[in-house]
Structure 1
Amino acid sequence: MSVKETIHIYHTNDYHSHFENWPRVAQFLKERKAYHEAMKEDVFIFDIGDFVDRWHPFTESTMGKGNIALLNDVGYTAVTIGNNEGITLPHNGLDELYTDANFDVIVANLYYPNRKRPRWALPHQIYETKQGTKIGVIAVTAYYKKLYELLGWDLSEPLTELEIQINRLKDKTDMIILLSHLGIYDDEKIAGLYPNIDLILGGHTHHILHTGKQVNRTTLAAAGKYGQYAGYVKAIKKQDMKVEMDASLMETIKLPSVCNEENIIKSYAEIGKKKLNSEVTIIPEPLSFDWSYPSQLPQILCEAIHEWCDADCTLINSGLVLRPLQRGKVTKYDLHQMLPHPINPCTVELTGAELKEIILHAESDHWPELKVIGLGFRGEVMGKFIYRGIEINRSKLDATIAGKSLEPDKIYKLGTIDMFTFGKFFPEIQRSERKEYYMPEFLRDVMEWKLKKLYGPQQ
C-alpha cells in the first residue's frame, strides 16, 4: 500500500527546568522543523508538561515566563500543563504564565471555580495538514483536585473529560492525539478504553519508551525526564487512510553540541541569581546545617513550620536544607539555593497512638543516608529528623508532646511537609483523611518569614 502522507511529530516532557540539556534539544528541534517546512512537510512539536520547575533560579525569578520564552523560540505547536505548572505556581502565576505564548495551551480538565475555562486553556485543538488531514489534539493533566482547589482552580476527573472531548472530535478528525500528563499506567488504561486515540504522548511518571509501545490500536510514546531525550513519531498515512506510527527517541548527549553551549547554560542560572538578589535580612553570625546531627538551620525551619501551621508538634527532615547561610546579608537567592524544593508546609491530624508510631519510625538509624527522589524533594538524602514540641524518651520508647505525656486516643495536629502525605515514608500520615495544606507558600517563603521575625526585615 503506497504512502499518501507523512506527518512529523516531535515531543518533550518533564524537563523540570533542567536547562543543561536545553540548548542541544532546542537546536535539534529548530533544525528539524526548518527542514520539514522547507520540504513542504507537516511538522508538529508538543510538550507534555512539567517544563516549568521552580527549583531553578531562572524559573523562580521569572515565575516560569522565562521558560515560555524558550518554548516560543523553538516554535512549539502546543503544550499542556503538568503538576509543576499547575500547583507550584500561585493562582495568578499560572493564570498569567502563558500570556506571551506563541503556541496553543491545551488542557481539558482545568477550570475556574465557576466551571468556566481559563481564556488561555483550550479543551482541544484541530490542526489541518497541507493535504487536508485533520488532527485532533486533546490534553489532560494529573488529578490533584484538592491541591488545585486550594489555589483557586477546579480540576475535573481526567478520563471523564477525555471521553467528552473524544466524542466531540471523533467525527470531525482523521487522527486523535492525546497529550497526557497522567503517567504510564493511566496511559495504558486509556489506550484500552478509547480506541479512537491514535497516539498518546505521555509524561508525569518519567517513563522512557525508546521505540514506543503498542496497546491495542494506540501507540504510546514518552521521552523520560530532564531533556535526556527528544521524542519523534513519524505518522505514515496510507492510501487506505490507515495510519502507522513509528516512534523513536534521540539521546540528547548524542546530538550535535551548540556553539557556546556551556555559557548559555550558565547564563540561565546567572539571570536567575541577578533577579533574586533582593535582600531579606542581615544575620549577625553564620547559620549552619548538617544532615546527620542536630544543627541550626533545620531547627529554625522546623520552628518556622510549627508556628506557621499553629501545630501541636512538628516533624521535618534535615535533608531539606541544602546550603548554610553566611554572616551578613541574606538574599532571596540564598534562600532559594538553601530550600529549592517546590514543597509546602501542611498539618495532619493523628491520634496519639498514630503519632507515637511515626516518632518511633523517625528515630530509625536508616533515615540520614536514605536517598530521596521525587515528591517535590530537590535534595540528596533524607537526613536526621528534627522536632518541635516533641521530646523523646528513648529508654522507655515514649514521647511527650508540648511537655505532656502523649495520650493514645487524643487527636494531635502534626506540622510537617506535604512530601510525607504523598510518599509512603509514614503510612499513618499518608492514610490520614485530616490534612491541611498551606499554599502557595513554599518552605523558603516560611523560612524568610521566620528569619525576618528573628533578625528583622531588611529596610
Structure 2
Amino acid sequence: MIEQVHIYHTNDIHSHFENWPKISSFLNKERKLYGYKADENFFLFDIGDHADRWHPYTEGTLGKGNVRLLNELDYTAVTIGNNEGITLAHDELDTLYEDAAFDVLIANLFDRSGKRPEWAIPSKIYNTKNGIKIGVVAVTAYFRKLYEILGWQLTEPIPELAKELQSLKQEADIIIVLSHLGIHDDEKIAILHPEIDVILGGHTHHVLPKGKVIAQTLLAAAGKHGNYVGAVTLELDTERKKILTKKARLFETKYLPSPADELFEVSLLHEKGKKILETFLVDIPEDLHTQWFEPSPLPKMLCEAINEWCHSDCALINAGLLLGDLNKGTVTRYDIHSILPHPINPCLIELSGTELKEILHQTLDPKWPPFELKGLGFRGKVLGNFVYHNIHLDNDVFYINNQPLEEGQIYKLGTVDMYTFGHLFPILLNAKKQYFMPEFIRDVMTWKLQKEFGEI
C-alpha cells in the first residue's frame, strides 16, 4: 500500500508578520486538502527564529504572541533558534511555551544543572495513519557562551544529534531533523548520518527551491521572513516501511492568494504590541534628534550611556543604530522600541592600544556610513557614521580620555555585540569580551534618559 506524507515547514520568520496572513490561509487550505484523507498525512514544523523582538507584538508579549500564532495553525512541533534562545532572559524563555499546543523539540539545550527544561523534549516519534513511525529530532545553533550568560547549558549540536540518533533509529522507520544550524552544518550532518531521511533547515536563511540531496538525505529550507513556505512530500511503501520517493518544493508567499482581511490582520498585531508598550518611562525637556551622517545628540547620548553602563575607558557605536528621534515630552517603551528595535546587547572589550588604534582607523573608512548591514542583530538600514565617547583624533593622533593612545596599554572599549562576531572588525572575534545580557541597548538608552531627566 502507498501512503503520502505531506510535511510543511517554516523557518526564520523573525516576526515578519506582513506575510503571516497569507501563510496562515495557505496552510489551513493545505491541511484541509491533505490532513483528512485516509491515505495522506499532514505535519507542520517551524525550525526556529519565529520570534524576533524587533516587532512590537513580540516585544510586548515577550514572544508569547508568536506562540499563540503557532497554536492557531496547529503546528506539530517547533524548535528554537538563537532569537528565542539568547534574546530572552532565562525566565522568559523558560515560560515562553507554557501555553504551547505543539511539541518543542531541542536536543542540545539544558539548564545550568544539566537537566532538560520541562517544556522541551529532544525528539519524538509521530505515527502516520497507517502506522509508519516518523522520528523527529531537533538541534539549535551553538552560541554556547551567550546561553551560559543567561543561565543555560548548550551542548555541541552535531555530537548531541548523534547520541539521539542512536536510540531514535532503533524505533523510527523515517528520521527527520529540524536543524537551526545553517546550510553548511546540514550538509555535514547528511554526510555523517545517512540514516537521516530529511533535514529541514534554517538559521542561514538559505533558499532551496527543490531541496538538495546530499548522499541519501534530502535537505529543505525556506529562506527567511516568511517569503516562502516549504513543503516536502514523502511517498511510502507501508508494507516495507520504506520511502519510495521524496520531493521538496517552495511556495513563494508573494504569489499566494491574499485573504480579505490581510492588511487588517497585519496592522492589528502591530497595534496590539504598541498598546502593550505604551507605558510611561520619562519626560524629556527637549527634542532629541538623530542624524546618520553628521553629529547629533541622540547617538551621542547612547554612546555615552554605553560607556557608563560598561564602565569602559571609551566607547564607540554607529549612528545608524538609532532609527529616529525622541520628541519633547513623554517617552514611552514604544517610543524607545521604535528607535532601537535591535536585539543587540552592550559589550565590553579589552584591547591593546595597538588593537584599539587599528579598530579606530577602520571606523574612519568612508565605505562604512552608507553600508547597508543585514543581520548580526541589526534591524536598521545603514551603519551611519561612527560615534565616539572619550575618543578623539587630532593631527593623526588618537586620544583616549584626553591622553594620547599608548600602543602598549590595555584599554576597555564599550560598544555593541554585533561588532564582535568577526564580520565588521575581524580582530574583535577573539578579543577578551564581556556581554551584558539580557539587557539590550534600548534598556541602556532608557536607563540613561531616566538618569538624565528624572525617573518618576
The question of a shared fold, defined as TM-score above 0.5 by the shorter chain, is answered with yes
Q: Give matches, 1:151-170, under 5 Å.
A: 151-170=150-169
Q: Does 1:85 align with 2:80?
A: no
**C-alpha separation in 1, matches of 2:92 and 2:434:** 22
| CA distances 1:287-329 after superposition (whole Å, capped 9, x unpaired) | 0000101110000000110000000110110000001001100
1:453 aligns with 451
1:39 aligns with 37
2:73 aligns with 74
Instruction: Give the share of equivalent positions with the same residue, in percent.
Output: 55
Q: Retained in 2: the 8 A contact 1:356–1:398?
A: no
Q: Does 1:187 align with 2:150?
A: no
Q: Does 1:261 align with 2:262?
A: yes
What amino acid is aligned across from residue 192 of structure 2 in structure 1? L
| CA distances 1:168-205 after superposition (whole Å, capped 9, x unpaired) | 11110100000000000000000000011100000000
Counterpart of 2:99 in 1: which secondary structure? coil
| CA distances 1:215-249 after superposition (whole Å, capped 9, x unpaired) | 00000000000000100000111354431211000
2:17 aligns with 19
Counterpart of 2:348 in 1: which secondary structure? strand
1:218 aligns with 217
2:349 aligns with 348
2:146 aligns with 147
Alignment length, in residue pairs? Answer: 453
What amino acid is aligned across from residue 141 of structure 2 in structure 1? A
What amino acid is aligned across from residue 16 of structure 1 in structure 2? H
**C-alpha separation in 2, matches of 1:170 and 1:307:** 54
Q: Give matches, 1:36-435, under 5 Å.
A: 36-40=34-38, 41-238=40-237, 240-243=240-243, 244-393=245-394, 395=395, 397-432=396-431, 434-435=432-433
Q: Retained in 1: the 8 A contact 2:132–2:241?
A: no
| Alpha-carbon offset, residue 405 of structure 1 | 1.6
| Alpha-carbon offset, residue 56 of structure 1 | 0.1
Q: Retained in 2: the 8 A contact 1:305–1:345?
A: yes
**C-alpha separation in 2, matches of 1:398 and 1:144:** 38
| Alpha-carbon offset, residue 38 of structure 1 | 2.4
Counterpart of 1:171 in 2: which secondary structure? helix
Q: Retained in 1: the 8 A contact 2:123–2:137?
A: yes
| CA distances 1:21-51 after superposition (whole Å, capped 9, x unpaired) | 0001011111211222221321100000000
Q: Retained in 2: the 8 A contact 1:88–1:440?
A: yes
| Alpha-carbon offset, residue 424 of structure 1 | 2.0
Counterpart of 2:29 in 1: which secondary structure? helix
**C-alpha separation in 1, matches of 2:142 and 2:35:** 37
**C-alpha separation in 2, matches of 1:15 and 1:445:** 24
What amino acid is aligned across from residue 50 of structure 1 in structure 2? D
What amino acid is aligned across from residue 97 of structure 1 in structure 2? L
Gaps of 5+ in 2: none
What amino acid is aligned across from residue 237 of structure 1 in structure 2? L
Deviation >6 Å, runs of 4+: none
What amino acid is aligned across from residue 342 of structure 2 in structure 1? H
**C-alpha separation in 2, matches of 1:226 and 1:408:** 44
Gaps of 5+ in 1: none
Larger CA deviation: 236-245 vs 292-301: 236-245
Q: Retained in 2: the 8 A contact 1:50–1:85?
A: yes
What amino acid is aligned across from residue 144 of structure 1 in structure 2? F
Counterpart of 2:35 in 1: which secondary structure? helix
TM-score (norm 1): 0.97
Q: Retained in 1: the 8 A contact 2:173–2:242?
A: no
| Alpha-carbon offset, residue 391 of structure 1 | 1.6
**C-alpha separation in 2, matches of 1:299 and 1:279:** 23
Q: Retained in 2: the 8 A contact 1:30–1:75?
A: no
Counterpart of 2:189 in 1: which secondary structure? helix
| Aligned-residue RMSD, C-alpha | 0.9
**C-alpha separation in 1, matches of 2:35 and 2:86:** 36
1:440 aligns with 438
Counterpart of 2:377 in 1: which secondary structure? coil
Q: Retained in 1: the 8 A contact 2:45–2:78?
A: yes
| CA distances 1:334-381 after superposition (whole Å, capped 9, x unpaired) | 000000000000011110001001111111222110110000000000
